[in-house]
Chains A and B, each alone.
Chain A
């Protein structure tokens, strides 16, 4: 069974731009969560989607948003990028909410 896939794997953007990251969950998994990982803060929860609905949201500004499609694939968007948004963005999928999450390889975003 293929694992969680994320595209692109690497991105370089400049301040003020926006970015969209994509996540395809494990086949049969309907819940997708997003996390931001930085050396200082570690892994922090962004949001969770299930059946195209956001179930839960972490403590991040409104510049961070996401959505889920009917095939369970998910995208997250960051608008008006700031230097501090440079991080590894990880997507995780589970069959249903509150079940074991399996992570993708991440998208490394560098904001200049």
Chain B
């Protein structure tokens, strides 16, 4: 069964304290892995798409990496405005759930000034 697990569920950081969020997955033929950011009461905002193991993408203080079993979202020197829930999703290339996104439960990040 296709599955996505994110850890930790919640993370509290001080401003400037770098850390990483984990997304482990099992999927029938990974077509893509996606990271989204969601603020309270809003829809998810697209951050990155990763397609193959070894791929890395960066945007401001965020860097996403991908291996064959997991992805990491590294946050460098976070600021309070980075506080949000970060969602990881995979898209299967085969099997019953082919094409649709399978989401993890998310990591709620709080960055204190």
Contacts and interface: CB of A to CB of B under 8 A. Distances in A.
A105 B87 contact: no
A33 B101 contact: yes
Interface size class of B (residues with CB under 8 A): 20 to 34
A54 B78 CA distance: 41
A64 interface: no
B42 interface: yes
Contact of B45 (A43, A45, A55, A103): A103
B49 A56 contact: no
A33 B99 CA distance: 10
A32 interface: no
Classify the secondary structure of B's interface with A.
strand
A35 B6 CA distance: 19
Interface stretch (A12-20, A71-79, A94-102): A94-102
- Among B44, B100, B104, the one with the most A-chain Cβ atoms within 10 Å of its Cβ is B100
Contacts of B34: 100-101
Interface residues of A, number: 23
Contacts, number: 54
A100 B49 contact: yes
Interface of B: 31-32, 34, 36, 41-46, 49, 87, 89, 91, 97-106
Contact of A103 (B41, B43, B105): B43
B43 A43 contact: no
Contact of B44 (A45, A90, A97, A98): A90
Nearest to A40: B105
Contacts of A43: 44, 87, 89, 101, 103
Nearest to A39: B105
